[in-house]
Structure 1
Amino acid sequence: MRQMGRTNRARYLATFLLGYALSGLLTGTWTSVETLMDYFKYKPRILCVESKTKPYFAICPFHKEEDLLVSGSIRDTGIWDSDLTHLLKVALSLYKEAMLVDLGAFIGYFTLYAGALHHDVLAVEPSNSSFKRLRQGLLLNDFSATIKILNKAVSNKRSYVHMGKNQKLNLGKMHVNSEKDTDDRENALKNEMIETVTMNDLLEYIHVKQAIIKIDIEGYECKAMEMSTAFFKEVFVPFIFMEWLIIRTNMNSNETACTWTDAKRLVDYLTGLGYTPFAYHPVFTLLDPSAVLDWEIDNIFWQHKNAKSLLPYINLLRKVGPKYFDKMDQNQV
């Protein structure tokens, strides 16, 4: 994965400085001098790179020694989760006015990709270290006008929570510690706790009638969906891309935020709203909502009954491969 060239570095530096100045004036907060000075060096502490997606964007992954999975893939190949990358491009092409709601944005790969595709985005990420890199990517790409970012967690109530410990070499698996939450804001801020919001609360930041959801919040998907009725009434969501790995792995544990009964309730809720679940990796499969315990898959997409279908494009992805989608213009869909 190549680092940003000298010309691009100068362009991104100018954009960063402008965004830095504007954000400071508007919010009264400023990036530290230490971080600013990093951008005047050829080897900055936060080393940002260009993606190999089309269109490309700048992103600021962790070092591979910290996060081998997502950041390592981006640094080595310029892409993360190629199937979802291509399907998201098609989904946003089918709904050109839709906003991406990225719940569990991490360092912003899908957020910034949607921004590069000229879509508005609402990105929610609770981890402070990941949020810092997400914000840096936002400024480098000059997406501040179209992408809103929230340093919060999504749950079924408003409170403050501690984040669980990072997993070695997989910072994307940082999770909310559901055993430690409080409504005491003053105490929460002293202890560097993260504020939670509900999906219904997110309507404050959404001013469109169509949105595509990508949700990867480490087993908290069940809790998030508990408080989403108003969201789905106000916004038409044709597709929901959801990680299922953590849910299926932990659903038989009493300590998880999404037990098997919670998972069943989640599936019943979404099917009741008119959604059909599909697995798309490694094999495309229509899932049986009555057999949740048998879903031995990592990722799901939910398609609404009134949505334009993604299925022809999934079949094409399987037959032709990702190169077609790399070359595809959004107007071709």
Structure 2
Amino acid sequence: MFRFKCKSRKGCVLVLLTLIFVFIINRFVRNISRTDIMNHGIMSDSNSAYSKTLTGCWSSSRACVRLFDTSKDYSNASQINVCVYQIVPTIKKAIICIYDPKTDIYISKSILNNGNWEGALIGEVLNLLRTDQHMEFLDLGCNIGVYTISVATLGRRVTALDANRKNLEMLLTSLQIGNLTRNVTMLWNALSDKSEVVNLKEDAGNVGGMAIVSGQELAPDFENSTIAVTLDDLEVMFRKKKLLIKMDIERYEMKALLGAKRFFEYVNIRYLIMEWMHHAETDTGLEIIQFLSARGFVPYAPNDRTRPLQQETRNKWPNDILWKQTDSGIDK
């Protein structure tokens, strides 16, 4: 036990006041540091399972959330085939860098030939954002950034997450050319139901859309691996914010939702757009319906928000689904 002796009552008071002052200053500095980290959406802890020396990594006891450095220049990255205009109705043209269409036969080829990818769905996203100037966009599985670039061009805040570093390098180059980096926060992570190192498996013909393989032992800076986090690990970034979420994470949607219970409780998610074609006739699809309907979400076709979709016809739902937050769950 710490003891001290005072020669006078006045001396004791001064010593006591000094100790109180030091204690208050120490707590103040610690709170400032914590607040600064939270404002950037990333928690840190010296006892993390992952080292802070990893590229762009700030860590907590639960996860390692990687903030992608937007000050770097990747304009000479070997995977960039060409940078062209992306054309989306109602907003000005924006530059987007694409892969060789021979290796990316879906997104890059469509942009090169048609000027956009999923242009109609992007238009619906922009229309929804225009209904509320405070709503932000969370792009989970951003790929090369067709949605992120469009929303940033609209002047709205975007957080873009992807497991594939090459995608983020290309997206960053596009944002820098279009002077849009100030609108976008980029995260280099996969999503799962737990924090872990995951392997990335290339899909032939869809070079930007790698599948996630769980339970790997590879180093998290290996070219074909990265660190998975949960949506609950990101909750501090978005607490009490209004969000429109686009989730396209290569059949990993349910695993991501299992790690998002606190996220759905504390974040004001107004809309969630999700690929449905992989889940239409699976047990996982039913689990997704149960998870979201229990939290007050109702499914619609993105271009028809007047008639909810029915669970019994889920195998005939469109390829993409818009889940809208309401006071009641899905119609049975």
Superposition TM-score, scaled by structure 2 size: 0.70
CA distance in 2, matches of 1:64, 1:263: 31
Structure 2 vs 1, CA of residues 75 and 192 (structure 1 numbering), >3 Å: closer, same or farther? closer
Counting strand residues as a fraction of each chain, which structure ranks higher? 2
Which residue in 2 is equivalent to 1:48?
Answer: 83
Which residue in 2 is equivalent to 1:274?
Answer: 296
Match of 1:286 among 302, 308, 314: 308
Match of 1:220 among 252, 261, 267: 252
2:213 maps to 1:177 = yes
Query: Are the aligned partners of 1:238 and 1:306 in contact in 2 as well (CA < 8 Å)?
Result: no
Which residue in 1 is equivalent to 2:38?
Answer: none
* Superposed CA RMSD: 3.0
CA distance in 2, matches of 1:27, 1:80: 26
Structure 1 stretches of 4+ with a deviation exceeding 6 A read 281-285
Larger radius of gyration: 2
Q: Which runs of 5+ in 1 are unaligned?
A: 1-22, 39-43, 252-259, 308-333
CA distance in 2, matches of 1:61, 1:104: 16
1:100-143 superposed Cα distances (whole Å, 9 cap, x missing partner) = 00001000010010001111011111112222211211222222
Structure 2 vs 1, CA of residues 29 and 85 (structure 1 numbering), >3 Å: closer, same or farther? closer
Amino acid at match of 1:272: A
Which residue in 2 is equivalent to 1:35?
Answer: 76
1:294-321 superposed Cα distances (whole Å, 9 cap, x missing partner) = 34531111111169xxxxxxxxxxxxxx
Which residue in 1 is equivalent to 2:151?
Answer: 114
Counting helix residues as a fraction of each chain, which structure ranks higher? 1
Residue 229 of structure 1 deviates from its aligned partner by 1.9
SS at match of 2:273: strand
Query: Are the aligned partners of 1:121 and 1:146 in contact in 2 as well (CA < 8 Å)?
Result: yes
Residue 278 of structure 1 deviates from its aligned partner by 1.6
Percent identical pairs in the alignment equals 23
* Equivalence map 1:1-333=2 (5 Å): 30-31=72-73, 35=76, 46-53=81-88, 54-168=91-205, 170-178=206-214, 180-182=215-217, 187-190=219-222, 192-206=224-238, 209-248=241-280, 251=282, 260=283, 262-280=284-302, 286-290=308-312, 292=314, 294-305=315-326
Structure 2 vs 1, CA of residues 76 and 283 (structure 1 numbering), >3 Å: closer, same or farther? farther
Aligned length: 260
Structure 2 vs 1, CA of residues 285 and 65 (structure 1 numbering), >3 Å: closer, same or farther? farther
Q: Which runs of 5+ in 2 are unaligned?
A: 1-55, 57-67
CA distance in 2, matches of 1:86, 1:207: 27
Superposition TM-score, scaled by structure 1 size: 0.70
Query: Are the aligned partners of 2:309 and 2:317 in contact in 1 as well (CA < 8 Å)?
Result: no
Residue 181 of structure 1 deviates from its aligned partner by 2.6
Query: Are the aligned partners of 1:215 and 1:240 in contact in 2 as well (CA < 8 Å)?
Result: yes
Amino acid at match of 1:301: L
